[in-house]
Structure 1
């Protein structure tokens, strides 16, 4: 297993060692001790989620806030996606910065993101099966997000945006600035 740091603190690219022969493939998708030794992080995943999406579907940018914030390890099981992480930790030197990763069933790359990261992806293949390992359970009251087409973030989703398939819920998410302005106003109240 190869683990690489990224420009965003606490965010890593994990590439498992794949053993392939005429029968197919085998790889260890996660190993707690190896991950802990390489990153210094002691993460315990408690929930696995799978999404199945068609070409041009954009999901995101999602996160959970407060005590139910989640660290995640994501990977593509089938197909190809462009994975996007955005640092939304106000105290971080990379606040507002985004990174993109191409995750495919061929390269088997995974992305680990710490709490305080908004996450989304777009499907570049005809269909994609996408896996999320989370270190906290999903809580609807803690659900939040940032608008995927926020001009301040300048994310190139690498598709014709006229072809994008986005849920009405994700289309109504606030921009990064609006989200934090609303929190500041709420803190004053």
Structure 2
């Protein structure tokens, strides 16, 4: 797994083995993951999201503790997947990293607790699969405005963008900070 500009976010670029039948690759391997990240990924829930082109989901994050780590892939279509460091006190607080995940490149992204997550569907239909370290708990979940100018995310220009009502009215990073809803870097490191 490759490091990104944000500690706690890793890009998985598997070796793909093509032959006359098609391709094969390991989508996830616990021993390789643990060696790269320093701890295993405990799986509590797996989600599948199918989106039409222009659908933007996120930026979402969970309270820490317990937080929610994610391992995200796109086995069909393509998405721009964005991770935002929301850990107050982190050296990269407020920074983001963006990667295309697609059926073509087979890349996946690991996001540690305290990292916000969003993706934009780039193809007519895109399927995103993400496994989570904790189960969904609505009372611990939050959303951040994906167009907050303080984040500076360069979303691709598509003919339409479709957001849920929750995401389209989500507060800014500054608003979340003023309401003490962001996780602390220290609490994320003590996982």
Global fold match (TM > 0.5): yes
Deviations 1:94-138 (A, max 9, x none): 000011101110100011010001100101111100010111111
Quote the residue 1:124 is aligned against. Answer: 122
Please give the residue correspondences for 1:1-189 in structure 2 after superposition, counting only pairs within 5 Å: 3-160=1-158, 163-183=160-180
In the alignment, is the contact (CA less than 8 A) between 2:70 and 2:131 conserved in 1?
Answer: yes
CA–CA distance in structure 2, aligned partners of residues 99 and 156 of structure 1: 10
What SS does the corresponding residue of 2:24 show, helix, strand or coil?
A: strand
- Note the C-alpha offset of 1:68: 3.6
CA deviation map 1:53-108 (0-9, x unaligned)? 00000000001113341010101110011010100000100000011101110100
Superposed structure 1 runs of 4+ greater than 6 Å apart: none
Unmatched 5+ stretches in structure 1: 185-189
Measured in 1, the distance between the counterparts of 2:162 and 2:144 equals: 16
CA RMSD of aligned residues (A): 1.2
2: CA distance between counterparts of 1:45 and 1:159?
Answer: 35
Give the total of aligned pairs: 181
Structure 2 distance, partners of 1:131, 1:83, is 12
Partners of 1:10 and 1:62 in 2: CA distance? 16
SS of residue matched to 1:156: coil
